[in-house]
Every structure is written in structure tokens, then in C-alpha cells.
């Protein structure tokens, strides 16, 4: 871990110094305020050269020898250990592999196998629809009478009862930023005999996460949001270390085998988390992600959280003062919020198109939410001020009220 230069008057660097330094690790276009790092994190400067080296030296010169000589075979664990350090997980308990959805399939099938005769998967309507789809796919495939119960977020705690096999939640609501109390709900589930799965897609890299301290059974999450791993970066998967040895993977693949290169006809899982590897990972995307994770060297996530709240509070204050038409969709209390701020507006899609055309990138989520992510590694108070002034202009001058902005594109 590299350390920061101390400021002149203090052995701990001032927070603005920390983030001025991390800001320089990213390539961001000029004249743009990027508030969509919770959808696709921006490009860390180290990535282009790293991927170029994998292509020209690893692939081009080493060829198949790259698996040994260019570190490809161990990269899933290497990236996993870097992620582990950001989510309160011990070394060797996280791998980077596949997509978030595929990883959820792996851990949900494993969790249900641990849950004995119980048949209820409890989730909430604040979860990613994609996570609910995975559960629906698992239920249809197992065909053993499992049931997905989708509670309201505020009703989850009381819905945890002795019938729940698996509590499957995303910590931060992708639309509103509402944050669940992971420790409390995990304890509650554990007391009720349920297995827990947390999706950390909007948590990892956004604020401190303490999987071990919360005694979470399984977790998954995304590489391309706050971890800046690049478009479609491989995802991560955590298993509480004592659980791994008893899991019979649904997705049994050769890289999860105890001895992949013996080419035995029978699957025998590797001892620990390695068994959750399946097929050969996409090395170029994985290398990009691994390189992107270096921006976290020496970064204190508690400082990230403090600054994220500062930026978010400033944003709310500035926008509410300027734009009475917008209704805050996020919790007002920062303690129950992730690192994003959302507002509601009936023409939210058109507003976001106008904002993007005016150099402020956030995103829209149906039906009426405009969403802004706050990522201290590369965002300053000046960025927040500029964003608020642009939103004011778009709302005041009704810049959104053009047919071109109102037409819905395929991807928003």
C-alpha cells in the first residue's frame, strides 16, 4: 500500500489533498461533470497501458505461455483480494469472476442448498430487478416449490421469519439510494435461521463495508460502478470462509476444480473460494479491472464516506434552493443513504437528456427518477456547484422541453 505525502502542518493529509491526488489518477473529459460513476466508473489512467501490455506482450509475444508468465491464472484471486480489502473481507474470501447475475446464481443456489426444507427467498422491491430475475430463474430451474417474496424495503425486517430460507438484498437501492442496515438485517436473518446474500453493487467503493463484522454469508457485486473496472468488468463474489468447503457449486467448471490440469473426468471442487471459478475468465477485461483497483491504494474508505456525505449534502441544498420543481427521492438522512442522490420529476428522462447535452452526466431510471452519483475520488465541490447551476438552468429555462429530449432511446 502506498502512503500519501504528509501536508506541511499535519502528519495526516488534508482530505482535499487526498482527493486532489486521486482525481489525477483518472482520465476525465474536460468541461464535463460526471455524476454517473454508479453506472460506469470513469477510466483510471493506468488502464490503457496495462491492457495494451496484456495484448502486445502477454497475448502477442507470450501467447499461451501468458497463463503462467503473465499472471493470468492468478488474476481472479489477485483482483479478488484487492476487492476484499474494500469490503471488510479476509484475504482469500473473494474472487472476481463472471457477471454479477451469474455470481448471484452461484451463491443463491448454494444458499438454498444450505437452507434445508425452507422454500422462501425474501427480497424487496428496492432490489435490482436483475437480482429478482436471477431468483426467478433459480426457482424455475430447481422446480422444488421455492417462492420469491418481494417485500417493501421498510417491511423487510418484519418479514424475516422462520420460513425464510435466504434473505437476498441489495444494500443500496439503485433508484433512490436508500441504504439498508446490513448489520441489523443480517443479525435478524441469522437469528431466524436464514442464509444471507448481499448485493454490494452500489456499496463497494462507495463507503466502508464490513462483511466479516456483519457475519454475512454470501455477497456479490459489480466491478464497473464505484470500482471503475470498465464496461462490463467482471464481478466479484464473497463467501464466508467457513462456508466454502461445504458448497457443491451449481456451476461446476474446470477452473473451480481441485486440479484443473489433471483433466479428471470427475469434478472435485477446489478447497475454498476457488471452487466458485467456472470457465476461463476474460483476461483483457479482468486486467483492466485489476489495474483500476490500484487507485484505492492508500485510500481510507471512511474519508471517502465523509466526503461523499459532504458532496451529497451540498448537492441537495444547492438543487433544492434552485429547483423547487424537483422532489428529493433519496432519504434526507445521510446515514440511511448510499453515495447517490435522486430526484423525481415527471419529465425526468428529458431533463437528463438536457443535462447531458449541457455537460452534466447522471442517469435516468424509470419511471421518473434522475440519479446522480457522488464519487469523491474524482469529484470536487466545484463540480457539485456546477452541476447544481446546470440543473437550475435546465429547469428554469425548460431546456428539457424539446421533442428530441423526450424521445426515449433504447439505453437511458
Residues of this chain, 59-118, that bind a copy of itself according to CB under 8 A: 59-61, 63-68, 72-73, 98-102, 105, 109
Annotated catalytic residue 261 = no
Cβ distance to a copy of itself smaller for residue 29 or 298 = 29
Which residue of the set 225, 275, 277, 307 is catalytic?
225
Among 284, 328, 336, 357, contact with a copy of itself (rule: CB under 8 A): 284
Among 136, 147, 246, 402, contact with a copy of itself (rule: CB under 8 A): 136
Going by the DSSP 8-state scheme, the letter that residue 154 receives in this structure is G
Question: 247 is written with which cell numbers?
Answer: 458448497
Cβ distance to a copy of itself smaller for residue 24 or 398 = 24
Quote the least distance from Cβ 175 to a copy of itself, whole Å: 8
Largest Cα separation within the chain, whole Å, is 69
Alpha-helical (H) ranges within 2-159 are 15-23, 46-53, 66-69, 75-84, 100-114, 129-142, 156-159
Residue 377 CA to its chain's centroid (Å): 15
| Cα distance between residue 222 and residue 38, in whole Å | 10
Quote the least distance from Cβ 406 to a copy of itself, whole Å: 16
Determine if 19 is a binding residue for a copy of itself (CB under 8 A): no
Contact mark string toward a copy of itself, 155..194, x via CB under 8 A: ----------------------------------------
Determine if 246 is a binding residue for a copy of itself (CB under 8 A): no
Among 15, 43, 314, 357, contact with a copy of itself (rule: CB under 8 A): 43
How many residues sit in the footprint of a copy of itself (CB under 8 A)?
92
Contacting a copy of itself within 263-282 (CB under 8 A):
263-267, 278-282
Quote the least distance from Cβ 378 to a copy of itself, whole Å: 12
Contacting a copy of itself within 286-315 (CB under 8 A):
286, 288
Quickly count: other Cβ atoms within 10 Å of residue 390's Cβ: 17
Phi and psi, residue 84, nearest 5°: -55, -40
Annotated catalytic residue 333 = no
Give strand pairing partners of 169.
Answer: 198
| Cα distance between residue 12 and residue 308, in whole Å | 19
| Cα distance between residue 117 and residue 137, in whole Å | 19
Quote the least distance from Cβ 61 to a copy of itself, whole Å: 5
| Cα distance between residue 236 and residue 229, in whole Å | 11
Pick the stretch among 28-36, 158-166, 180-188, 203-211 that binds a copy of itself (CB under 8 A): 28-36
Give strand pairing partners of 94.
Answer: 238
The full DSSP string for 218-234 is EEEE-SSSTT---TT--
Phi and psi, residue 384, nearest 5°: -60, -45
Quote the least distance from Cβ 247 to a copy of itself, whole Å: 11
| Cα distance between residue 130 and residue 235, in whole Å | 14
Which residue of the set 275, 371, 372, 405 is catalytic?
371
Quote the least distance from Cβ 70 to a copy of itself, whole Å: 8
Burial readout 228-243 (b: 16 or more C-beta within 10 A, e: otherwise)? bbbeebbbbbbbbeeb
Quote the least distance from Cβ 26 to a copy of itself, whole Å: 9
Among 86, 233, 243, 311, contact with a copy of itself (rule: CB under 8 A): 233
Contacting a copy of itself within 368-397 (CB under 8 A):
none
Quote the least distance from Cβ 385 to a copy of itself, whole Å: 21
Annotated catalytic residue 305 = no
Among 52, 147, 246, 402, contact with a copy of itself (rule: CB under 8 A): 52
Among 29, 116, 213, 298, contact with a copy of itself (rule: CB under 8 A): 29
Annotated catalytic residue 371 = yes
Q: What own/partner pairs with CB < 8 Å and gap ≥ 24 does 209-213 have?
A: 209/86, 209/87, 209/88, 209/171, 209/182, 210/87, 210/88, 210/182, 210/183, 211/87, 211/88, 211/89, 211/238, 211/240, 212/88, 212/89, 212/90, 212/240, 213/88, 213/183
Annotated catalytic residue 332 = no
In this structure, are residues 171 and 203 in contact, taking their beta carbons and an 8 Å threshold? yes
Contacting a copy of itself within 247-266 (CB under 8 A):
248-254, 256-257, 261-266
- Annotated catalytic residues are 128, 199, 224-225, 371
Amino acid at each position: 500500500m502506498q502512503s500519501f505525502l504528509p501536508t506541511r502542518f499535519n502528519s495526516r493529509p488534508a482530505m482535499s489533498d487526498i482527493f486532489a491526488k486521486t482525481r489525477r489518477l483518472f482520465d476525465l473529459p474536460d468541461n464535463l461533470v460526471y455524476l454517473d460513476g454508479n453506472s460506469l466508473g470513469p477510466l483510471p489512467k493506468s488502464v490503457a497501458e496495462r491492457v495494451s501490455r496484456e495484448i502486445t506482450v502477454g497475448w502477442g509475444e507470450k501467447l499461451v505461455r501468458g497463463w503462467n508468465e503473465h499472471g493470468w491464472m492468478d488474476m481472479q484471486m489477485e483482483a479478488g483480494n484487492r476487492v476484499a480489502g474494500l469490503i471488510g473481507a479476509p484475504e482469500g474470501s473473494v474472487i472476481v469472476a463472471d457477471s454479477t447475475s451469474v455470481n448471484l446464481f452461484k451463491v443463491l443456489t448454494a444458499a438454498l442448498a444450505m437452507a434445508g426444507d425452507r422454500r422462501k427467498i425474501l427480497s424487496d422491491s428496492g432490489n435490482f430487478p436483475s437480482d429478482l430475475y436471477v431468483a426467478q430463474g433459480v426457482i424455475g430451474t430447481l422446480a422444488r416449490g421455492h417462492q420469491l417474496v418481494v417485500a417493501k424495503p421498510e417491511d423487510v425486517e418484519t418479514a424475516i421469519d422462520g420460513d425464510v430460507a435466504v434473505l437476498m438484498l441489495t444494500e443500496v437501492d439503485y433508484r433512490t439510494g436508500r441504504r439498508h442496515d446490513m448489520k441489523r438485517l443480517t443479525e435478524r436473518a441469522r437469528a431466524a435461521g436464514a442464509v444471507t446474500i448481499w448485493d454490494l453493487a452500489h456499496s463497494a467503493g462507495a463507503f466502508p463495508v464490513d462483511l466479516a463484522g456483519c457475519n454475512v454469508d454470501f455477497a456479490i457485486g459489480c466491478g464497473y460502478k464505484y470500482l471503475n473496472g470498465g464496461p462490463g468488468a467482471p464481478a466479484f463474489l464473497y463467501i464466508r470462509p467457513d462456508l466454502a468447503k461445504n458448497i457443491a457449486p451449481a456451476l461446476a467448471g474446470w477452473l473451480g476444480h481441485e486440479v484443473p490440469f489433471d483433466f479428471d473426468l470427475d469434478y472435485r471442487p477446489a478447497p475454498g473460494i476457488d471452487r466458485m471459478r467456472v470457465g476461463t475468465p476474460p483476461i483483457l477485461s479482468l486486467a483492466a479491472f485489476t489495474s483500476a483497483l490500484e487507485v484505492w491504494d492508500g485510500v481510507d474508505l471512511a474519508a471517502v464516506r465523509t466526503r461523499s456525505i459532504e458532496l451529497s449534502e451540498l448537492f441537495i441544498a444547492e438543487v433544492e434552493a434552485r429547483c423547487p420543481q424537483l422532489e428529493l427521492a433519496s432519504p434526507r438522512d445521510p446515514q440511511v443513504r448510499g453515495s447517490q442522490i435522486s430526484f423525481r420529476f415527471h419529465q425526468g428522462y428529458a431533463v437528463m437528456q438536457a443535462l447531458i447535452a449541457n455537460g452534466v452526466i447522471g442517469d435516468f431510471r424509470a419511471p421518473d427518477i434522475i440519479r446522480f452519483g457522488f464519487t469523491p475520488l474524482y469529484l470536487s465541490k466545484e463540480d457539485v456547484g456546477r452541476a447544481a447551476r446546470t440543473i437550475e438552468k435546465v429547469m428554469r429555462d425548460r431546456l428539457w422541453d424539446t421533442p428530441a429530449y423526450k424521445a426515449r432511446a433504447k439505453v437511458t
